[in-house]
Amino acid sequence: MGNIFRWFVPRSGKAARQRSFLGICSFLLPLLVWCLVSYVPFIWHPKILVVDPGGVDYFQVGMLVDKSVFRDELANMQLQHLGVPHGEPANPIYLPAPHQVAKAFYTAFTTEPEQKDGPWLHESLWHSVKIIFWGFVISSLFGVPLGILSGTYSIFGRLSEPFIEFFRYLPAPAFGALAVAVLGIYDGPKIAIIVIGTFFQQVLIVANTTRKLDTTILEAALTLGTRRISLLTRVVVPAILPDLYRDQRILLGWAWTYLIVAELIGTSTGITWFITQQARYQHFDNVYAAIMMIGILGFGTDLLLAKLGRRLFPWDRSLDRT
């Protein structure tokens, strides 16, 4: 018993082995649920996969029918003494089993696009990554300096933040039509949506991070003879850098969530185009694989950036706790 309760002590999970074990579990648990639903016939399986249509004229091999329909037809055939249909319980088409999706991870890359000159999956993915990259870079180029200025000098903050507070409640996709009118139908409006979705949050978050800087650090710098501009470049910026880096990681995740909406604007491209195409042909295994690829790309980048952060800022104490 004692052993079990030890796991629930808050903030005690310091042992690295225990932590990575729990980390793996957090992925295995949902997978386990998915496996149960997919492979254990009596858990959900609301459909019947027809194996032998028997005497039912509209049944075909491989067809999915509702359980109730199948039951009715079975009773019908028995009444009429015709061949009874055979089938096995199955899940709806939109819930493929784990092994099907796993296979799709590979086959999605190797199957030719449905349309002759359509992009392959890896090309679609790369296109999406480029959209995210440029959206995030452009947003950061303006958002980070403005955030730092707003956080350091109250005049900047008072002048910009009320409007930004207002603007961030305007949903970025609402600007889609406008963006198309201004920037055309290709990548321009997509990048614009990501910029709009990220920029305003970015300014506020960065300004807040900057404001949290310990004033003693600033005062110490002042008593050492630091003048205005160097106070910003030599003290404020380096002091907030690790927190700024963490903010940027969170904001990059934010940018990813805008990706799908952004790619629907104008001509659909990238991974979104792939997903909508596959859904149209009812290749839901491919759809799931593509959705997961977005997750893996985003999460993977974040893990990498977190690792990099630990190397970049060896003096940052708050990294020890995460």
Partner 1 sequence: MNIESTLPGYLEQSDAVRARFDRIRQREIILEVRNLGKHYSSAQGDVEALRDINFKVHRREFICVLGPSGCGKSTLVRTLAGLEKHSSGKVLLDGKPVLGPGQDRGMVFQGYSLFPWLTVKKNVMFGPEMNGRDHDEAERDARLWLDLVGLDKFADAYPHQLSGGMRQRVAIARALVNQPRILLMDEPFGALDAMTRAKMQTHLLDIWRNIDITVLFITHDLDEAIFLADRILVLKAHPGEVQEVIEVPVPRPRSAASLSSPEFRATKARLEELIHPAAAQESEEDQVVKPHMIRFTNVTDNVE
Interface contacts to partner 1, rule CB under 8 A:
214, 216-217, 219-227, 230, 234-235, 238-239, 241, 313-317
Tell me what percent of the chain is helix, strand and coil, each rounded to the nearest 5: 70, 5, 25
Q: Is 270 left (phi over 0), alpha (psi -120 to 50) or beta?
A: left
Residue found under tokens 């104490």:
317
Residue found under tokens 């909508």:
276
Nearer to partner 1, 18 or 318 (CB): 318
Shortest spacing between CB 242 and partner 1, in angstroms = 8
Distance between terminal CA atoms of the chain?
28
Report CA-CA distances (Å) from 213 to 23, 115, 322. 32, 55, 20
Spatial contact of 85 and 60, defined as CB atoms under 8 Å apart? no
Shortest spacing between CB 237 and partner 1, in angstroms = 10
Shortest spacing between CB 215 and partner 1, in angstroms = 9
Nearer to partner 1, 177 or 220 (CB): 220
97 residue type, one letter: A
Shortest spacing between CB 322 and partner 1, in angstroms = 16
Q: How far apart are CA 91 and CA 240, in angstroms?
A: 51
Shortest spacing between CB 165 and partner 1, in angstroms = 23
Nearer to partner 1, 62 or 314 (CB): 314
